[in-house]
Amino acid sequence: MTNAPFIFRFTHDLRVEDHAGLVQAAAHGEVLPVFVIDRAFEARMARSPRRAAYAVAALSALDRALRERGARLIVRRGTAAAILKQVARASGARGVAWTARYDGAGAQADDRLRSELEEAGLRALVVHDAPAIAPEETAAARPSGGNGYRAFVPYFEVWRTLAVAAFDAPLLVRFAATDLQSEPLPQASEFNASGGASAVAALDVREGLMRFLAGAALQYASGMNVPSLDGTARLSAHLSFGVISARSVVRATRKRLEDPFLLSEERASLRIFLRSLAMRDFFLQLAFFHPYADNEPLQERMRAFTFARSHRALDAWRAGTTGFPLVDAGMRELHETGWMHPHVRAVAASFLCYDLGVDWRVGRDEWDRYLVEDDPALATGNWQWIAGVGADLVQYPRIYNPDKQRRRFDPNGAYVKRYVHELAAVPVAAWDGAHAREGQLSLALFAHDDYPQPVVDHDEAARAFLARYRAFVNG
Ligand SMILES: Cc1cc2nc3c(=O)[nH]c(=O)nc-3n(C[C@H](O)[C@H](O)[C@H](O)COP(=O)(O)OP(=O)(O)OC[C@H]3O[C@@H](n4cnc5c(N)ncnc54)[C@H](O)[C@@H]3O)c2cc1C
């Protein structure tokens, strides 16, 4: 090792603990931490103000954590390649490490940056840090190796047997002392956002995870689909900005499973939670091995299947006024909080693709304007999966009946009432029949002026879609 420092460019890995990239950079020299505010970052932040507020808070928590270690974040605005070359020249750094992105646009930007830095004589290290288990590791465990997995079940069979690395030893990472100038940290107001994203310090997130593992995780199997409960971990934004590592979440969950006093249902719940975490890694490896799938269906045969780009009820879906309470509550939860309950996401996405027949890309891009999470590879993977054009998870389109789902998972309407205020005073029994002939009358009695009538007949729309889908697949 020489005395020359090695740059670590932070992106979606805003922490210092259990950090694969920092540890790799530290193997080549003292680490110089840099954050570049480039056009791509500005565009992602400007797109969703809540995302911007979160990122700004996470960056400032990262800077604090670095200062506690005698370092600080060097912030620069401009083009990544130009800035990193400049910082390397000014500091004598020999190279730059950063965390790999998996969405097509991110992966291409990584490739371009790598070539530009290498052309300038710098070493470029792109490190897997986002997944708990790197795509090549699961692929290598497959007899035929190659392009990873397109189906979740065989992927999970392998994933669950693999060890998860830890990059925890803080002594491995030494930061460089520097007098290089930094621009100020970004402010939420730069992106039309107001500040105030709370609990983004790694410590708070970790405490939240520990509370979850001690409590709700033990009932995850029954609670994960009930949107009125705090039954899921609410980790996606934290994982997407790397405030906590997926590795540490998986390790903590596996450790929890070692508790000999767990009941068998509790053990089963923890295993299902692990399956959810594996799902994240699965979609990341899918994007890693199929980088063109950002805007094209992964399934070749489905590329010619056309969804509509619009529908007379598209704006109602966007606004949460479709007349289907669960779908509307989900969309309004997203607008109000920047997050939507995972099961409601599946129902609301299915409604767009099948009841309205609208393209999954329209839905994905709409949600992107509100979500805090910044994980385009996961958004694409999930939307393609729901639309039946992506990972080989199901034989048939995943059509949910939004009213049946509501009756099953929100029977007393607690979730719907939280977001659909027009229904707060309407007895749930009156919603239940809302789509039957006499039910429409009963809902009309209570909410005629306030809450809209259903924009489509679900059964009719779903049957029509299925007929078209079958004709296409069999034709
Ligand atoms: C149509 C649709 C779109 C989605 N878009 C996004 C998106 O843009 N960004 C995003 O991060 N997630 C997306 N998801 C996945 C999931 O719904 C969210 O990550 C959700 O916020 C998880 O909430 P949680 O942390 O409480 O989940 P939990 O149920 O507690 O799960 C724990 C963690 O497992 C992972 N996980 C669980 N389910 C999935 C899944 N289906 N795909 C990937 N990871 C999963 C997440 O990292 C999650 O934080 C989408 C799901 C659907 C159905």
Cβ of 276 closer than 6 Å to ligand 1, yes or no, is yes
Q: Are 329 and 425 members of one domain?
A: yes
Q: Are 316 and 463 members of one domain?
A: yes
Q: Are 324 and 464 members of one domain?
A: yes
Domain that holds residue 222: 130-164+202-289
Domain assignment present for 179: no
In terms of Cα–Cα distance, which of 329, 454, 369, 465 is closest to 45? 369
Ligand 1 atom nearest the C-alpha of 368 is 8
Residue nearest to atom 47 of ligand 1 (CA): 236
Q: Which two tokens stand for residue 7?
A: 């740059």
Measure the CA–CA gap between 340 and 345, rounded to whole angstroms. Answer: 6
Domain assignment present for 317: yes
Q: Are 217 and 351 members of one domain?
A: no
Domain assignment present for 171: no
Q: Are 51 and 141 members of one domain?
A: no
Cβ of 209 closer than 6 Å to ligand 1, yes or no, is no
Cβ of 224 closer than 6 Å to ligand 1, yes or no, is yes
Q: Are 52 and 94 members of one domain?
A: yes
- Domain termination residue (choose one: 254, 289, 324): 289
Q: Looking at residue 308, what DSSP letter applies?
A: B
Cβ of 465 closer than 6 Å to ligand 1, yes or no, is no
Measure the CA–CA gap between 161 and 143, rounded to whole angstroms. Answer: 15
Residue nearest to atom 45 of ligand 1 (CA): 280
Question: Given this model, what pLDDT does residue 441 score?
Answer: 44
Cα within 13 Å of Cα(167), Cβ side:
24
Residue nearest to atom 31 of ligand 1 (CA): 276
Measure the CA–CA gap between 231 and 342, rounded to whole angstroms. Answer: 10
The CATH code of the domain that includes 85 is: 3.40.50.620
Domain assignment present for 448: yes
Dist. CA 105 → ligand 1 center (Å): 20
Helices 325-337 and 402-409 meet at what angle, rounded to 10? 70
Q: Which two tokens stand for residue 97?
A: 């490490």
Domain assignment present for 278: yes
pLDDT tens, N- to C-terminus, the chain (475 residues): 558 999 999 999 999 999 999 999 999 999 999 999 999 999 999 999 999 999 999 999 999 999 999 999 999 999 999 999 999 999 999 999 999 999 999 999 999 999 999 999 999 999 999 999 999 999 998 877 678 999 999 999 999 999 999 997 666 789 998 889 999 999 989 988 876 555 566 668 999 999 999 999 999 999 999 999 999 999 999 999 999 999 999 999 999 999 999 999 999 999 999 999 999 999 999 999 998 778 999 988 899 999 999 999 999 999 999 999 999 999 999 999 999 999 999 999 999 999 999 999 999 999 999 999 999 999 999 999 999 998 865 567 889 999 999 999 999 999 999 999 999 999 999 887 544 444 444 455 455 468 999 999 999 999 999 999 889 988 7
Question: Given this model, what pLDDT does residue 437 score?
Answer: 43
Domain assignment present for 183: no
473 phi/psi in degrees, rounded to 5: -65, -40
Burial (Cβ within 10 Å: 0-12, 13-18, ≥19) of residue 376: buried
Residue nearest to atom 19 of ligand 1 (CA): 236
Domain assignment present for 197: no
Dist. CA 116 → ligand 1 center (Å): 34
Full-model pTM: 0.95
The CATH code of the domain that includes 442 is: 1.10.579.10
Q: Are 138 and 216 members of one domain?
A: yes
- Domain termination residue (choose one: 129, 150, 173): 129
In terms of Cα–Cα distance, which of 397, 391, 410, 412 is closest to 467? 397
Question: Given this model, what pLDDT does residue 200 score?
Answer: 64
Burial (Cβ within 10 Å: 0-12, 13-18, ≥19) of residue 161: exposed
Q: Are 151 and 238 members of one domain?
A: yes
- Tokens 């004709």 — which residue? 471
Ligand 1 atom nearest the C-alpha of 342 is 17
3-state class of 34 per DSSP? strand
Question: Given this model, what pLDDT does residue 152 score?
Answer: 92
Q: Are 470 and 345 members of one domain?
A: yes
Q: Are 210 and 93 members of one domain?
A: no
Ligand 1 atom nearest the C-alpha of 381 is 42
- Domain termination residue (choose one: 236, 262, 289): 289
Question: Given this model, what pLDDT does residue 3 score?
Answer: 81
Q: Are 415 and 468 members of one domain?
A: yes
Ligand 1 atom nearest the C-alpha of 237 is 11
Q: Are 210 and 335 members of one domain?
A: no
Question: Given this model, what pLDDT does residue 177 score?
Answer: 86
Domain count, the chain: 3
276, 286, 389: residue to mutate for ligand 1 pocket, most atoms within 8 A of CB? 276
Domain assignment present for 190: no
Q: Which two tokens stand for residue 111?
A: 């490739």
